[in-house]
Chains A and B, each alone.
Chain A
Amino acid sequence: MSQQPSDALHDPTTSDGGLGISDYPTPHTDRQSTVDYALTVNGREMTVTDAWIGESLLYALRERLGLPGSKNACEQGECGSCSALLDGRLVATCCVLAADAVGSDIRTVEGLASEGELTDVQRAFVEQGAVQCGFCIPGMVVAIHDLLDRNVRATELELREAISGNLCRCTGYGRIFAAFRQAQEGRINAGA
């Protein structure tokens, strides 16, 4: 992909989404291809109305439902910063059609802990200094929750595999591994 992702892709005021393709249809003004639907996000039913059919779950979460924790970077499933759980499976929400997520249990980084609290993984990230610029961290936290929930005794190799789809451009992986180990030890010591 040589094309750079851009917010202009979702700009309803340009007929081609900012790509300079003159005959590209105007998605948001095509009334035939808008839909209304409900999504269950972090246990709450949330309504999306008059949305273009092609919108990604990431776009719906961030721009329509006020949940900007899932980050938007590559829009092509490369970076993992938009990771969330769809029916308990780790997915890149930029590659999930929002209107196909109806009826599914969507769990985003906002839904991991109660309001004002931190999960064990989030606390470990803070205590280990695993956050540099922070952009990849929501996706990393969701991916590491997914790994620990599935396999609390995951090896370092399994950790590397589990976050192979989550890029940290600060290359702060050492502290992220340390945060993983702290959360893992906490769970094992607690009898997991």
Chain B
Amino acid sequence: MPIAHPTSLTEVYDALDDLPDAHLLAGGTDFMVEVNFGHRCPTSIVCLRRVDELQGYSITDDEVVLGAGTTWTEVENDLVDVLPALAAAARTVGSPQMRNAGTVGGNVGTASPAGDGLPVLAAMDATVVLARREGIREVPLLDFITGVKRTSIEPGEVIWQIKVPRLDGPQEFLKVGTRNAMVISIVCCALIMDRVGRTVRLGLGSVSPRPLRATDAEAFAAEAMDWEALSAPPDAIARFGELAQQAATPISDQRGTADYRAHAVGVIAARALERSVAA
């Protein structure tokens, strides 16, 4: 049989020994669209949704460890208090039907430039935990994603967990699309503040082949902030938007033009900072 339904990581390794070229299937919400449209023709598949170790999440004082099979519905409903920006992003993923099936691990593994969770995970300095029979390795998200729908996953490996540090400070996620529901983002951004470390992190989505950190904008904002009052002057907020725009390297496609994307990402980055300091 060219398909396997493992229920444990050990069974996943066994399945990948038998089917080394198999596609690793999580929720299927991206994969099945490509298959339905004939863009992809799988010959063997390892289905991951029954794998016990991939289910659920755990929360400690320092971090949230998301099993790769954690669905967007779970993030949206359960993690609002601990990971507010990721929960906000989860609410914008597709429709209830997509969020019930689609997973965080699938989002990372698919590595779409428009993946809604990715700018948040990038801004949070999330780590991808990869498992194989010989052991595990941890890779920073932005090292794991190497290009458009490309990752550094190796044969025999499976995404096991996504580790997300918990940070004290305001968090925002903003997304531009044609509707309030069921849209692939034209641009999106996540702004994460770390009040303790006094850093501002800005992750941008759909404006480059990979999710992006706007590091010039981040350094500028960290300097311009009044950290005691958690405020920033209006001209600094405007400048932050300009720097975010400069970091973007968007393309034109059916969802929007490069010019529009560059403009819009500056607007939403500035708005995210404005909301964060007003909170």
Contacts and interface: CB of A to CB of B under 8 A. Distances in A.
A75 B25 CA distance: 18
A165 B182 contact: yes
B32 A95 contact: yes
Contact of A32 (B35, B43, B100): B43
Contacts of B49: 100
Contacts of A103: 5, 50
Interface stretch (B90-98, B117-125, B164-172, B270-278): B90-98
Contacts of B234: none
A75 B36 contact: yes
A1 B254 CA distance: 8
Interface string A10-24: 000000111101001
A35 B29 contact: no
A96 B36 contact: no
Nearest to B95: A165
Interface residues of B, number: 36
Contacts of A27: 41
Interface string A151-170: 00000000001101110000
Contact of B33 (A32, A76, A161): A76
A184 B124 CA distance: 42
A54 B182 contact: no
B151 interface: no
Contact of A165 (B3, B27, B35, B94): B94
Main secondary structure of the interface of B (DSSP, over half): loop
B42 A100 contact: no
Counting chain A CB atoms within 10 Å of each CB, which of B45, B47, B94, B96 scores highest? B96
Interface string A81-95: 001001001111011
Counting chain A CB atoms within 10 Å of each CB, which of B28, B97, B254 scores highest? B97
A86 B100 CA distance: 10
Interface in A1-44: 1-3, 5, 9, 16-19, 21, 24-25, 27, 30, 32-33, 35
A79 to B, nearest CB: 9
A77 B98 contact: yes
Contacts of B33: 1, 75-77, 95
Contacts of A83: 97
B251 interface: no
Given A35-B2, A76-B33, 11 more contacts: A17-B38, A19-B37, A54-B42, A75-B36, A78-B182, A90-B97, A92-B97, A97-B32, A100-B28, A103-B5, A164-B96
A56 interface: yes
Interface in B164-214: 180-182
